[in-house]
Structures are given as C-alpha cells and as structure tokens.
Structure 1
Amino acid sequence: MAPSTITSRTKAAGKEAGHSLSQASLSPALNEALKKLRTDFSVSTEKLREIVAEFEKELAAGLEKQRQNIAMYPTWVFGLPSGREEGQYLTIDLGGTNLRVCWITLNGPDHHTEIEQDMYKLPSHVKTGSAEELWNLIADSLANFIKKHNLKGTSEDPLPLGFTFSYPVQQDHVDRGTLVTWTKGFEIDGVEGQDVVVQLGEAIEKRNLPVRIVALVNDTVGAMIASAYNDPETIIGAIFGTGCNAAYMENAGSVPKLREFAAGADLKPDTPIAINCEYGAFDNTHCVLPRTKYDVEIDNKSPKRNEQAFEKMSAGLYLGELFRLVLVDLSEQGLLFRGEDVERIRSQAYCMDTGFLSSQENDTLDARQDRFEELVGFRPSVEDLEFCHLLAEVIAVRGARLSACGIAAICKKKGITSGHVAADGSVANKHPHFKARWKQAMGEILEWPEDRETDPITLTSAEDGSGIGAAIITAMTMKNIREGNLVGIQDGGPFAKRG
C-alpha cells in the first residue's frame, strides 16, 4: 500500500470523526506495519453482530444462575426514582483513580441538587496493599470531610451514607455486598470474599463517626438512577472509563436465579429490579473477541489473567497500554524512534494513559511532541508522530466499536428500540470522537437506516451517578424502610423510626 493511500483513508476517517489529519507520509516499512495493524484491530459489521449474539447468550446465562462469565448481579434497587426524592445524604465513591466524598442535598421535584465534595487521589500503593490500609484511608477521609463541613449526626440519628463501590460484588441486600474479584488493576489483600460494607462499617465505628451505610451502589446503577431522576427516557446506565460496565432494569420474573435469594423468592414477576451486569468479564473463555497479540500480552501480565476479557480490550485503563505495547514492538523492530533511548517506554507499563492516546490523535504536532518529550525524554520525528497519530486512531476506533456491543446486546435482549443510555466515564465524556464511533457501530449492529433523521438510541452524559445517584438510591431505600418494605434490606436500624 502506498503512503498516499494510507493518508487518503485516514483523511476520510478523520473527516467523519470531525477533525483534520496531517499530510505527513510514512516510509514503506511503516506503511506495511500500519496496514497489518489496521487489519488486526479491525472489527467488521459482521464481527460486531457475531459478538453481540454471543453477548446475548452470556447475559441470559448470568440471569439464569450464579457464577457465569457475565455475573448479572441483582442490586435490590427496585424501579426508577419518582423524581420527588429529597433530603441530605453522604456519599463515598471509590473509583479506579480517586476517592470522592460528598454531601448532597436533594430538593425533590425542582431537581435542584446541591453538592459539596472533596476529592482524594488514591495512592498507588493502596491499590495493591492491605484491606486495613484501604478502609483506614476511606474512613479517615470521611472523618476529615465531616469535620471540615461541620456535619452533625448522632448514634440515634446518624448521617445516611450511600457507598459507591464500582467493583463486582454479590449483593444479598441493598446494604450488603461481598467482593467477588478486584478489577481495574486493583489487588488488595483481605477484601475478596468479604462484605465491603461490614469492613468499611468497622473502620467507621472505630472512629465513632455518626454515620450509617444505607446502600451499596454500583456506579452503573447510580448513573442510570441519577439520569432517570431528570430524564424519563433513560434505559441503561453505562460506564466507559477506567473500566466498562452497564446496568438496566429487568423484570424479576426474567431472573430465575432470584429464587436462590431469601429476599427474591416472593417478588412479583413484574417487579423491576436493577441488574449490575459486570460485563467486563464477557468472553473470558476467548470464544469470539478478536484478540491481537498485544491483547494477549496485557492479559498474561495482568493481576487477573483470563478475567475481564472484554474490559481489557475496550476500557480506558488498557487503551493506552495497547498503544505503548505496539510502540515497543515496532521500536524493537527498528521501525520507530530510531536512534532514541526508548527505555522509559519499554520499562514503564501503563505510563501512557487514555488521555495520552487521545492527545496523539487530536492535538497539534507541537503539542504531541511536547507530550512525548515530557513523558519519555525525547521528541519523536514528524514521521514517528504521524504513525502514532494513526495508531491512536486505530486503537480508539476499535475500543469504541467494541463498547457498542454490550449496550446493543441489552437492547436486543430486552426488545428496546429507543431511549437514552446514560454514559459516564472518561472515555465517553472526554474523548472527542468516542460518541460518533459508538453511534456508527450501534447503527451497524441494529441495522438503523442510513437515511435516518435521528438516532433511536443515543448516549447522554450521565448525571453524577457516583454522587447524586448514590444519594437518590439512599433516599429510595430509606423510604422503603420507613414504609416497612424491607425486601432486599438487611437492617433498617434507626432509619425505620424516621417520619
């Protein structure tokens, strides 16, 4: 393939994505390398539909019984919010990068929500440390927040807390949850197989904090609930960020495994219950996803080999690492960065995050050179930067196309033909071309007409699911407690007394 052909094709792709590309030509050797990478990372329409068909099977299997690839965890959140929820609530969000503590005021029908919040960067050593380190960090941050904002509570009238914990948990009740496995690069000893609410609760009690954990919330469920509070067309909550996942409302009668739970045995078949899919684990058996040798390398070197197969090919934590591994490979072949010291690129896994990947696709030449120099200590040639620009596009396009598969599978399974997918996460909200590429893939999978005036299913930016969503779910749970509806609730405690 001639250099001009490569440039022409990427110009066309760039026009569709809404940005112009540079005109730099690549050497024949780099052209051949790029051609092969395009083939390896390509996901055709036919392949997308094949993936979605398998996805539907795994979704159904997860609803049928426990311990399937896609876990399909019941969350004991029943129905969408009324829009009239009100009150003041603490929330904690343990994400993949940050810890956030919030004091949220819900004002009911006017939907004017007030938020006071503090953000704490998670030290890297905590992510691979001990349970005691983790819970002490969270409890100390909570104590500092309560003191800083002069919040008042007592043992008889504690501050209600919604805890957003965005990792796979098996929930027997809305206020209990056992961590099944760490994801997003976490590997903290002493937490897997344990109830995270109990562990955090013990750390809170040691500090005599006037707080009671009312609800354990997955970020996808929070995104769906928070968005539905204002937008009745919300059908799914999704995360496209460090990890990937989605949640939706399923009828209890379509979840056979609910019969295994004491709280689920007597639910009416038409009771809507939020399901946390945890579909980052789709295709852990490697049946259908088109893995490259770089995907295999990421999996082999990860703390959880042969787990989270779909997440490792589509989520933000891994896109930059795929980019780095390709650069290392081609530099070792003598095709890139000739004469430069590439030790930093070679030795520092995950040093190129998704923000770096996005910058290589979207920033100016000078800005891209500056980013490279800051990270690795040298300024690549114009040809090398052009290749990086095109490679970033190849990897990001595949990620967006794969990201459409889980949502399309839920829609096909439920017969959903229109609505809004409330999307949160850095990839969805910060990469300038993700939504256009995702939409293109959705149209191919679901066979939307080319001449459509509007898209039947669209991405919307989620309300603050980890904050507002957790607060709304806490309000919904407390309402159930006050009304004596304790289905899916372990212990109403002092909140049962409130009017």
Structure 2
Amino acid sequence: MPAMPLDDDKRRDSKREDAHYDDLTALSPELDRELRKLEHMFTVDAAKLKEVSLQFEHELRQGLSRVSRCLLPSLESEGGNLPMLPTWVLGFPSGHECGEYLTIDLGGTKLRICWVTLNEGKGENQSDQEIYHIPKDYKVGTADQLWSFLAESMEDFMTKRHIEPEEGTVIPLGFTFSYPATQEYIDQGVLQTWTKGFDIKGVEGHDVADQLRQALHKRGLPIQIVALINDTVGAMIASAYSDPKTIMGAIFGTGCNASYMENCGSIAKLGGLPENLPMAINCEYGAFDNDRRILPRTPYDKTIDKESPRPGEQTFEKMSAGMYLGEIFRQVLVDLHSRGLLFKNQDPSKLLTPFIIKTGFLANIEDDASPSLTSTHAAFTTLLALSPTAAERLFVRRAAALVATRGARLCTAGVSAICRKKDISAGHVAADPLVYNNARFKARWAQAMAEVFDWDEARDEDPIVMTAAADGSGLGAAVISAMTLERVARGDATGLRPE
C-alpha cells in the first residue's frame, strides 16, 4: 500500500517534541510531497507504539520459557526471537564490594582495558583505562587474530602500569562481551551470532572465555577470567552499586539491548533453581520481531537489512540503534537523489558510500542554529562533497529529525515491555551516558514512555526516568567480579564452573 501523507494537524503533532519549528513553505511542491511521505513512513504514533510494546512483552515471556530461534534456527516455530540469556549474575550488589580488578570491553570498534579499584563504598572508586582500536580487517578476520590482539593489548596495558599479582595469586578479570552468548556458568559463554558488523570466523558456537583464556596462557599472563558479562548487565550493576532505584540497564548506542533482574522461578528454560533467586537476564532484544509481525519497516529499513552481513537478523536493532540511524538517513537521500529530487546535477559518489553518515551527523543538522543553516551546508560539503540549496537544507533537517525521533520512540518499546512484565511502576533506567546527555533523544524517549503508559499530563515528574549509567564495562565488570569471588569465598557454587 502506498504511503499516505499526514494531514496538517497530524503533521504539527509529529513535531511537538522538536525544539525548533522550521518554515517549510520554502519547499518546492515536489519536496513537500516527499516530506509528507517520509513523515507518514517514520511516524510511530502512540497506538502503534503500544502495539509494539505488547508484542515485545510477549516475546520476552516466550524467550524465558524456551530457547529462541536466533540461537537454534532449526527450532523454526518452536522458539521465539529473543534469547533472554541467563547471566548467572545473582542479585544486585551490596555497595560494599572491594578489591582491584582488570576489566576489558570488546566493543564494536575498540577494546577498552581498565584497572579498577573498588573502595567498599568508602569514597571514590578509582579507574585507569586505555583504548585500543581494533584493526578493521580483524572484524571479519579469524579467531586467532582477535584473541591474540586482546591478549597482546592486555599485556601492553599491564606492562605500562607495572601491574603484577602477588606471588602465588592471579589477577581477576571481568570480561565485557556484548554479543549474544549462552552461559552455563558466569565465567563461560558460547557465542551464538555476531552483531555490530563483526563476522569473525571460528568463534560462533565456541566458548569465547575459553578462547581468550588460551590466548592469555600462550603469553604467560597471570590472569583469571572471573566473569563474562554483557554491557547492559554491567551498566545495571554499576549503577545499582550507588543507586538502589536502578531497575534495568539499557544500551541505546551502537546496538540496542537491555538487562533486568528476573526471579529464577520465571525462567522456565532453566529449572532447578530457587524460585525467588534473582538473576540478571540479558535480553539481547535487538532480535525483536525478526519474524516481521509488528514493526513498521520502511523500504529503507528493508534495503539496509538486505545489504547487511546477516539479512533477517537483528530487525529491531537495525531500525533503532545508533549504528544504523545515519545509514537510514543516507538511504533516504540516495533514493531522492536517484529520482532527481535532491542535489540535482551533483556528483553523488561519496553519498553512495555505505555508512559514511554517522548518527552524530544527524544530531549536528538538528542542532544547527546558524543563519540559513550554513553549518549544515558546510557539513554536507565536507563529508559528502554536496552543496544543498536552502530548501534542501530545510528538507534534510526535517528528514534527520524524523529518523532520529522514530529511533528514540522505538527504544521505549523494550523498556516499557520489561516494566509491564515485572509490574514495575517507578525506577531508574540506567542508559549509556552519551545517550543520556543527548537532550533531544531523552525528551523524545520520555514523551514516548508517557504515551505508552498514559501518564497523567499534570504529573510533577515521570515515575520511570532515564539516568546516566555508571561505567558498566569498567566499574560494572569489577563489581560483578567482586560479587562472584564473594560467592566463591562463602562456598556458594551456583553458576560457577566446576573445577
């Protein structure tokens, strides 16, 4: 069915959360028509968002009760889309954890290594860190390349800082691995599928902790992997270390995901554990709606999925995560240029480069307060060698806002579903600080949350709010390592690998 344009009243409503109101009368009839089509395609109203959230809750429950299709595709209709991975992080921290810990975080483009000192809640925790950029070809290389790079980087970090264990001891390591991995124990994890552009051979189906353990052994490094954690779990635990109102950790950055505490009695696929024992669940909900039942996908979303390394996977992530927003925007521009509606008679060579536009580019366009949007013109000239007219600058700014707004609104679907599933009516959602500090994203997210839950417009404050997550891959990994070693010390072997 062709996209129907919004009427003027709905068009005004769709811009309420924007801080600026552009005079779009300068657009040509053709561009105005195209903008109306885009507004229809990218506007997710409250009714649709509620539908998405309800389906999200259904898939959360489905994932807790059975193994998901994305983990075992052969199950076909027997499993849901969401892995809902048990993490063996049992409960929230006490706030009194202490000690020194090495932590690493394998992200989408870089490796972050930290040396963290926990002070048992007696003042500031200390953290020393260094970033190591992952060679681009390693992201599609081999397992040996990846783990050798990690071990070499850790050795370099320890050498520079003169980090050595006491005689007869080893250095405890918390490993943040933010990819779907099934865990039978807290210091083990079998990678099910790469995300975030990784496609490294020889890792899927294998225990990533064991592969790193072997690489460390080859270098003779006295390091013991204590815990393998997901970044959302780390963010949640790090935040709860100082904020008892924390209800979940959420990632709205390169990827999208969330973690929360679930009673083991509700995790039917585990069984055999005390019913009221709390365990952190890594939802890995970027895979939501992989069977295409509910999300309002545009032709641009379908193109991105088709051209991705893993078509048909991570459907929700490809529509809402920061890694993809710039690419969605680029697909819109490419389409309109191909039809002679934008950048007429200009060379589109750079525009045709996949992922050349990052999310920050969209934010800069929206934030442009210069006369006649001259900063937007300069940005297009610098990055894309294009010279947009005054009318085109207005058009691209509105298009950028549409893409970003849809992303922010969709990001409430998983959070609201978890809150409803757990009957949570108030609390703090710990989100990555870069997102938390993005005023536009936060305002759009908060507005959508209010619409999903029908909060009273006269409320003094929102009952569920986004807060800046503490350092999940540094502090969070250290706290989880400390919690795990405390369990070892008191003889609680739940979730621990047999010796």
Contact 2:343 2:387 in 1 (8 A): no
Cα 1:22–1:473 shift into 2, 3 Å: farther
The reply on whether 1:173 has 2:185 as its aligned counterpart is yes
In structure 1, what is the equivalent of residue 74 of structure 2? none
Query: Residues 155 and 210 of structure 1 are in contact (CA less than 8 Å); yes or no, is this contact kept in structure 2?
Result: no
Which of 172, 175, 178 is matched with 1:160 structurally?
Answer: 172
Tell me the SS of whatever aligns to 2:428: strand
Q: Which moved more, 1:147-156 or 1:55-64?
A: 147-156
Give 1:296's aligned residue.
Answer: 302
1:366-385 correspondence runs (5 A): 366-385=374-393
1:82 deviates by 0.1
2-structure distance, mates of 1:41, 1:23: 18
Task: State how far apart, in whole Å, the 1-side matches of 2:308 and 2:166 are.
Answer: 44
Runs of 5+ consecutive residues of structure 2 not aligned to the other structure: 1-6, 69-79
CA contact (8 A) 2:17 2:447 kept: no
Structure 1 position 88 matched with structure 2 position 94: no
- Pair 90,327 (structure 1): closer, same or farther in 2 beyond 3 Å: same
**Partner of 1:201 in structure 2?**
213
Secondary structure at the counterpart of residue 486 of structure 1: coil
Distance 1:64 1:13, change over 3 A: closer
Structure 1 vs Structure 2 CA RMSD? 1.8
CA distance in 1, matches of 2:205, 2:166: 31
Residues 24 and 351 from structure 1, CA distance in 2 versus in 1: closer, same or farther, beyond 3 angstroms? farther
Verify the 8 A CA contact 2:252 2:432 in the aligned structure 1.
yes
Inter-partner Cα distance in structure 2 for 1:7 and 1:139: 58
- Give the letter aligned to residue 105 of structure 1: T
Query: 1:421 — aligned with what?
Result: 429
CA offsets, 1:417-468, max 9 Å, x none?
0000001164x23533011111111111111111111101000010011111
Is the CA contact 1:14–1:21 (under 8 Å) kept in the aligned structure 2? no
In structure 1, what is the equivalent of residue 36 of structure 2? 35
Given the alignment, which residue of 387, 390, 402 partners 1:394? 402
Corresponding residue for residue 497 of structure 1: none
Q: Give the structure 2 partner of residue 242 of structure 1.
A: 254
Find out whether 1:329 has 2:341 as its counterpart: no
Partner of 2:46: 45
What is the correspondence of 1:101-140 to structure 2 with a 5 Å cutoff? 101-140=113-152
Answer whether contact 1:284 1:308 (CA < 8 A) is retained: yes
Secondary structure of the structure 2 residue equivalent to 1:356: helix
CA distance in 2 between counterparts of 1:99 and 1:61 reads: 34
What is the CA deviation profile of residues 89-124 of structure 1, one whole-angstrom value per residue up to 9, with x for unaligned ones?
A: 000001112210000011012251111000122222
Aligned to 1:55: 56
Contact 1:63/1:256 (<8 A) preserved: yes
Match of 1:262 in 2: none
AA in 2 matched with 1:271: L
CA distance 1:367–1:22, shift in 2 (3 Å): farther
* Bigger mean CA offset, 105-114 vs 287-296: 105-114
Q: 1:359 matched to which residue of 2?
A: 364
Inter-partner Cα distance in structure 1 for 2:489 and 2:66: 32
CA distance in 1, matches of 2:266, 2:217: 39
Q: Partners in 2 of 1:120 and 1:169 — Cα distance?
A: 23
Partner of 2:278 in structure 1?
272
Q: Please give the secondary structure, in 2, of the residue aligned with 1:164.
A: strand
Q: Which residue of 1 aligns with 2:224?
A: 212
Structure 1 residues 223-238: aligned runs within 5 Å? 223-238=235-250
Query: Residues 153 and 49 (structure 1 numbering): CA distance in 2 closer, same or farther, change over 3 Å?
Result: same
**Aligned equivalents of 1:339, 1:430: Cα separation in 2:** 39
The question of whether the paired residues in 1 share the 8 Å contact of 2:147 and 2:212 is answered with yes
The alpha carbon displacement at 1:367 in A equals 2.3
Report Cα offsets for 1:63-97 as digits up to 9, x if no partner. 00112311100000000000000111000001112
Distance verdict in 2 for CA 1:72–1:81, change over 3 Å: same
Q: CA deviation at 1:19?
A: 4.3
**Residues in 2 aligned to 1:24 and 1:190: alpha-carbon distance in whole angstroms:** 56
Q: Deviations over 1:319-358 (max 9, x none)?
A: 1000000000000111100121011111x10110111111
The equivalent of 1:309 in structure 2 is: 315
Task: Report the equivalent of 1:495.
Answer: none
Q: Are the aligned partners of 1:90 and 1:161 in contact in 2 as well (CA < 8 Å)?
A: yes
**Contact 2:178–2:230 (8 Å) recurs in 1:** yes
Q: Is the 8 A contact 2:343 2:386 kept in 1?
A: no
1:410 to 409, 412, 418: 418
TM score, norm. by length of structure 2: 0.93
SS of residue matched to 2:419:
helix
Number of residue pairs the alignment of both structures matches: 479
SS in 1 for 2:351: helix
8 Å CA contact 1:93, 1:163 repeated in 2: yes
Change (3 A) 1:273 1:324: same
* 1:6/1:31 contact within 8 Å kept: no
Kindly provide the CA deviation profile for residues 122-151 of structure 1, in whole angstroms up to 9, marking residues without a partner as x: 222111111111111111110100000100
Runs of 4+ in 1 over 6 A off after TM superposition: 5-8, 12-15
Aligned with 1:380: secondary structure?
coil
Aligned to 2:3: none
Q: Which of 462, 475, 492 does residue 468 from structure 1 map onto? A: 475
Identity of aligned residues (%): 50
Q: CA deviation at 1:239?
A: 0.3
> Does the 8 Å contact 1:24/1:386 carry over to 2?
no
What is the CA–CA distance in structure 2 between the aligned matches of 1:123 and 1:318, rounded to whole Å? 21
One-letter identity of the residue aligned with 1:29: E
Q: Is 1:79 aligned with 2:79? A: no
Of stretches 22-31 and 82-91 in structure 1, the one that deviates more from structure 2 is 22-31
Partners of 2:17 and 2:60 lie apart in 1 by: 33
CA contact (8 A) 1:81 1:228 kept: yes
Q: 1:9 offset after TM fit, Å?
A: 5.5
CA distance in 2, matches of 1:389, 1:72: 37
CA deviation vs aligned residue, 1:290-343 (integer Å, no higher than 9, x gap): 000000001111111111111011001111000000000000111100121011
Aligned to 1:453: 460
- Please state whether the residue corresponding to 2:87 is helix, strand or coil: strand
> Aligned with 1:106: secondary structure?
strand
Q: What amino acid sits opposite 2:289 in the alignment?
A: D
Gaps of 5+ in 1: 260-264, 493-499
Shift of 1:412: 0.5
